[in-house]
Structure 1
Amino acid sequence: AQASLNAGLGALRGDGEGLRGQIRIGAPDGCANFLLPQVCGHITKTYPDLDIQIVALPRVFNLTRREADMAIGVSQPTAGRLMVQKIADYRLHLAASTALWQIHKRPERLSDLKDLPTVGYVQDMIFDKELDYLEPLGLRRVQLASNSISVQMNLLRQGAGLGIVHDFALPFAPELRRILVDHLSLTRSFFLIRSTDDRHNRRLNQFAQVLVSGLRVEIQRLEALAEAPGGKF
Structure 2
Amino acid sequence: MTPNWDDMRIFLAVAREESLSSAGRILKIDPATVGRRIARLEASLDTTLFTKSQQGYVLTASGERLLDHGLHAEEAMRAAAGAVAGSAKSLSGQIRIGAPDGSANYLLPQVCAKISDANPDLDIQILALPRIINLSRREADMAVTVSAPTAGKLLIKKISDYRLHLVAAQDYLDRHVPVRSVEELKGHRLIGYIPDMIFDRELDYLSDIGIDRVVLASNSVSVQLRQVSLGTGVCVAHDFTLPFHPTLRKILTDQVSLTRSFYLVRHQGDQRNERLNRFAGALMQGIREEIARLEAEADA
Which TM-score applies when normalising by structure 1? 0.90
Answer 1 or 2: higher relative contact order, Cα 8 Å, separation at least 6. Answer: 1
Instruction: Name the structure 1 match of 2:276.
Output: 204
Task: Measure how far apart 1:16 and its partner are.
Answer: 8.0
Q: Quick one: which of 71, 93, 96 aligns to 1:21? A: 93
SS at match of 1:204: helix
- State the shift of 1:18 in Å: 2.0
Q: Is the 8 A contact 1:25 1:55 kept in 2?
A: yes
Matches of 2:160 and 2:88 in 1, distance apart?
21
Q: Which residue of 2 aligns with 1:33?
A: 105
2:262 is equivalent to residue 190 of structure 1: yes
Instruction: Report the counterpart of residue 127 of structure 2 in structure 1.
Output: 55
CA distance in 2 between partners of 1:143 and 1:75 (Å): 26
Aligned equivalent of 1:78: 150
Is the alpha carbon distance of 1:16 and 1:109 closer, same or farther for their aligned partners in structure 2, counting shifts above 3 Å?
Answer: farther
Quote the offset at 1:220 in angstroms: 0.2
Q: Secondary structure at the match of 1:124?
A: helix
2: CA distance between counterparts of 1:96 and 1:58? 23
Alignment correspondent of 1:216: 288
For the 8 Å contact 1:118–1:142, the answer to whether it is kept is yes
Which amino acid is the alignment partner of residue 17 of structure 1? K
Determine if contact 2:189/2:232 at 8 Å carries over to the other structure.
yes
Aligned equivalent of 1:165: 237
1:139 partner SS? coil
Structure-2 change in CA distance of 1:106 and 1:16 (3 Å):
farther
Question: Which whole-Å CA distance do the structure 1 matches of 2:282 and 2:209 have between them?
Answer: 37
Q: Map 1:95-174 onto structure 2 (within 5 A).
A: 95-174=167-246
Aligned to 1:127, the other structure's residue is in SS state coil
SS at match of 1:45: helix
Query: Given that residues 95 and 179 in structure 1 are in contact (C-alpha distance below 8 angstroms), is that contact kept between their aligned partners in structure 2?
Result: yes
CA distance in 2, matches of 1:156, 1:93: 13
Across the aligned residues of Structure 1 and Structure 2, the Cα RMSD in angstroms comes to 1.3
Q: Could you list the runs of 5+ residues in structure 2 that have no partner in the other structure?
A: 1-86
Distance 1:225 1:16 in 2: 36
- Is the 1:32–1:56 Cα contact (8 Å) retained in structure 2? yes
> Which ranges of structure 1 fall in alignment gaps of 5 or more residues?
1-14, 229-233
- Classify the secondary structure of the residue corresponding to 1:170: helix
Given residue 62 of structure 1, which amino acid in structure 2 is its aligned partner? N
Indicate how the Cα distance of structure 1 residues 173 and 16 shifts in structure 2: closer, same or farther if over 3 A, else same: farther
Verify the 8 A CA contact 1:16 1:210 in the aligned structure 2: no
Give the partner amino acid of 2:235: G
Structure with greater proportional helix content:
2
Q: Give the Cα–Cα distance (whole angstroms) in 2 for the partners of residues 42 and 58 of structure 1.
A: 25
**Alpha-carbon displacement from aligned partner over 1:7-27 (angstroms, at most 9, x marks no partner):** xxxxxxxx9832111000000
CA distance in 1, matches of 2:150, 2:293: 31
Displaced runs of 4 or more, over 4 A = none
Structure whose alpha-carbon radius of gyration is higher: 2
